[in-house]
Chains A and B, each alone.
Chain A
């Protein structure tokens, strides 16, 4: 069967390894999804987004995967660097409603 990645509140990886951060969303009407990175004392910073008519989108070193069947979103970071250490949040958006609903964050720690 299909496995769904679990959300973990913390993730520790070695520098250079790939990281996978998972998120479950709740609203079937959500049609737009965003990953944000938040460093201490700062506001969330946009990383990558994906619309509900897509299942994969790639950016620079980051890939977002969307599985609408099980309402699951993941963020893959390739060759993780110490500067990637931060809290990562997924957000789901129902563009008719306008607001974003944030999931539980994952604190990523990159060990040198």
Chain B
């Protein structure tokens, strides 16, 4: 069973550098979500895709952040000019979604990419 896969698992970088994370959702899941989680808190929604269309973006997603899902399969999240406050776990999730019968479906999470900004 291939669940949601995220790469890399850990990323350490210097402030000001750009970073890119990849998420491979469960095959044939139409919806893909990105969340950010800091220590002791629940995941905070960043953005989600229905196939290749980005349908919603949180106000947390500043203009330094960009997410893509070009072919409706894997997704990338890029952070430009990283800041100390970007240090967090970045979680990706997927769900079937896309049809009336499939709307109430739980999201399946990957194990995240932990970003540390030096």
Contacts and interface: CB of A to CB of B under 8 A. Distances in A.
A70 to B, nearest CB: 21
B31 A98 contact: yes
Nearest to A107: B40
Contact of A99 (B41, B48, B103): B48
**What class of interface size applies to chain B in its complex with A?**
20 to 34
A45 B4 CA distance: 11
Contact of B112 (A32, A36, A43, A104): A43
B106 A43 contact: no
Nearest to A39: B111
Contacts of A45: 109
Contacts of A99: 33, 45, 48, 56
Nearest to B92: A43
A36 B42 CA distance: 10
Nearest to A41: B111
Interface in B73-110: 91, 93, 97, 103-104, 106-110
Interface residues of A, number: 25
B106 A49 contact: yes
B76 to A, nearest CB: 18
A111 interface: no
B43 interface: yes
Interface string B20-61: 000000000001010000001111110010100001100000
A95 to B, nearest CB: 5
B35 to A, nearest CB: 8
A104 B42 contact: yes
Contacts of B40: 105
B111 to A, nearest CB: 5
Given A34-B106, A95-B104, A97-B56, A102 B43 contact: yes
Interface of A: 31-32, 34, 36, 41-46, 49, 51, 89, 91, 93, 95, 97-105
Interface of B: 4, 31, 33, 40-45, 48, 50, 55-56, 91, 93, 97, 103-104, 106-112
